[in-house]
Amino acid sequence: MNTKRFMNCAVASLGLLCFGLAPSVSRADVQNYTTFGSFNSALPSGVNVDNVLFNSGLTTQGTTVFGETKSGLILGFTSILGNQVFVVNTGTGGQAKINPFGTTTFADIVVNPAISPPPNTGSLAAISFNVQTLNTTDTFLVSGKALSSTGAPETFSFTYKASNGNQEVGLIAFNGESITQVTVSKLTGALVGINNVGEFRIAPGTPKVVPEPTTLSMAGTGICLASLAVYRSRQRRAKASTI
Cα–Cα distance for residue pair 3/25, rounded to 1 Å:
38
Secondary structure class of 39 (helix, strand, coil): helix
State residue 104's pLDDT score: 86
Phi-psi region of 150 (alpha: psi -120 to 50; beta: other; left: phi over 0): alpha
Q: Are 133 and 165 in contact (CB under 8 A)?
A: yes
Cα–Cα distance for residue pair 112/180, rounded to 1 Å:
7
Q: Taking Cα atoms as reference points, which of 203, 193, 140, 205 lies closest to residue 168?
A: 140
C-alpha angle 122-128-133 in degrees, rounded to nearest 5? 115
The pairing of strands 26-27 and 153-161 is: parallel
Secondary structure class of 121 (helix, strand, coil): coil
Q: Are 120 and 113 in contact (CB under 8 A)?
A: yes
Q: Are 147 and 12 in contact (CB under 8 A)?
A: no
pTM of the model: 0.76
State residue 134's pLDDT score: 83
The hierarchical CATH code for the domain 26-204 is: 2.60.120
Enumerate the domain spans of the chain.
26-204
Tens digit of pLDDT at every position of the chain (243 positions): 454 544 444 444 444 444 444 456 688 899 999 999 999 999 999 999 999 998 878 889 999 999 888 888 888 999 999 999 999 988 878 899 999 998 888 989 999 887 766 666 789 999 999 999 888 778 899 999 999 999 999 999 999 988 888 999 999 999 999 999 999 998 755 556 889 999 999 999 875 444 445 544 454 445 444 555 555 666 666 555 655
Report which DSSP code applies to 115: G
